[in-house]
Amino acid sequence: APPIAPMAARRGADEMRDRVVLGEFGVRNVHTTDFPGNYPGYEDAWDQRRFEETFRVDVIREEEDALEFDMVGIDAAIANAFRRILLAEVPTMAVEKVFVYNNTSIVQDEILAHRLGLIPIRADPRLFEYRNQGDQEGTEIDTLQFQLKIKCKRNPQAAKESSDPDELYFNHKVYSKDMTWVPLGNQTDLFPDADFRPVHDDILIALLRPGQEIDVLMHCVKGIGKDHAKFSPVATASYRLLPEITLLQPIEDEAAETLQKCFSPGVIEIQNINGKKVARVANARLDTFSREVFRHEGLKNLVRLARVRNHYIFSVESTGILPPDVLVSEAIRILMGKCQRFLNELDSVPME
């Protein structure tokens, strides 16, 4: 066979390094580019200057509780470290101990305690310390105390023939808004303008009937998702690689319409050029890569599906305790702390 021209070989290696190609069956070029010697003719050793030139973060969409941003120029290992730190290592405050003084509702004590633990509490964890292990009594620097005291009564003004519990009873639904903050020690002076409360007021905790009551005291402490999922500050933190769709030749008329239906809405648009309908890629980012196009014999060889290997689209959805941008910067701080700890360990270990 004739030798491949060096240019073509270089182009092939470029594609292998920069793109993950989705075939009809399976995915090609999935291995990392993080190690030298993986690709002939490329020096892939870590270089700080090169990293600083190529790395960038673009914020795409920022809402109160959701953030979508692109992180370009990193490897999967780093992207995954951020994701896992967001899920399991950024601390928050959550109910840890529930002291039940009275609970005559049909919700058992341990189920009630579990439900209370999962309610996100709007309190900045950076203001508090971790509670010492084995410490039964909380102090003002490591504990937030909440009380939930509620009793269900009949409504004497209710119409006789009514069957609507909302009309018949008072307090028959126990909501998270019924949890009130009870300052410990000098917390009123420590947090003069604090508004510690559940993130959402309308989380249903239990249903009561006349004569039933709940009287509990709760201790919130600082913790991380590794110990219990209730401490996780995000509803979800995930990433995906940027999709890239290449049309290898012009696709027109009926084929163009079929192609458009193969992808998510907004990915392929049809333009009218000289009376012909011509397909073009409008926004590959919106695609979920169902690979539907590979089911069409006439189209599957005309389209190349790939993902850009070092372009991560992150989406971080906060539970509302801290804004998502704060969560991301906290995650970066935690990763920096881990690196620093590792370097200190290296320094402190005497070399053989």
Residue 121 has what pLDDT?
Answer: 96
The verdict on residue 2 lying in a domain is no
Q: Do 98 and 178 reside in the same domain of the chain?
A: yes
Nearest to 141 by CA among 197, 221, 199, 198: 221
Residue 156 φ/ψ, nearest 5 degrees: -65, -20
Number of separate domains in the chain: 2
Residue 320 pLDDT > 80, yes or no?
A: yes
Give the model confidence (pLDDT) of 61-88 as tens digits.
999 999 999 999 988 899 999 999 999 9
Query: The whole model's pTM is what?
Result: 0.86
The verdict on residue 281 lying in a domain is no
**Domain boundary, last residue among 206, 232, 258:** 232
Q: Do 29 and 71 reside in the same domain of the chain?
A: yes
Give the model confidence (pLDDT) of 292-308 as tens digits.
999 999 888 899 999 99
Q: Do 73 and 139 reside in the same domain of the chain?
A: no
Residue 116 pLDDT > 60, yes or no?
A: yes
The verdict on residue 267 lying in a domain is no
Domain CATH number, residue 203: 2.170.120.12
The verdict on residue 264 lying in a domain is no
Instruction: Indicate the average pLDDT of the chain.
Output: 90
**Domain boundary, last residue among 200, 232, 264:** 232
Domain CATH number, residue 30: 3.30.1360.10
The verdict on residue 314 lying in a domain is yes
The structure tokens listed for 172 are 């028959």
Give the model confidence (pLDDT) of 203-229 as tens digits.
999 999 999 999 999 999 999 999 999
The answer to whether 34 touches 45, Cβ cutoff 8 Å, is no
Q: Do 167 and 53 reside in the same domain of the chain?
A: no
Q: Do 139 and 220 reside in the same domain of the chain?
A: yes
Q: Do 347 and 240 reside in the same domain of the chain?
A: yes
Exposure letters 127-143 (e unless 16+ CB within 10 A, then b): ebeebeeeeeebebebb
The verdict on residue 106 lying in a domain is yes
The answer to whether 233 touches 319, Cβ cutoff 8 Å, is yes
**pLDDT band at residue 239 under the 50/70/90 scheme:** very high
Q: Do 82 and 116 reside in the same domain of the chain?
A: no
Residue 48 pLDDT > 60, yes or no?
A: yes
Residue 15 φ/ψ, nearest 5 degrees: -65, -40
Q: Do 151 and 163 reside in the same domain of the chain?
A: yes
The verdict on residue 237 lying in a domain is yes
Q: Do 243 and 327 reside in the same domain of the chain?
A: yes
Q: Do 116 and 151 reside in the same domain of the chain?
A: yes
Q: Do 104 and 65 reside in the same domain of the chain?
A: no
Question: Which domain range does residue 344 map to?
Answer: 19-90+233-248+302-351
Q: How many residues does the chain have?
A: 352
Q: Do 55 and 145 reside in the same domain of the chain?
A: no
Least confident residue range of 25-39, 88-102, 154-168: 25-39
The verdict on residue 131 lying in a domain is yes
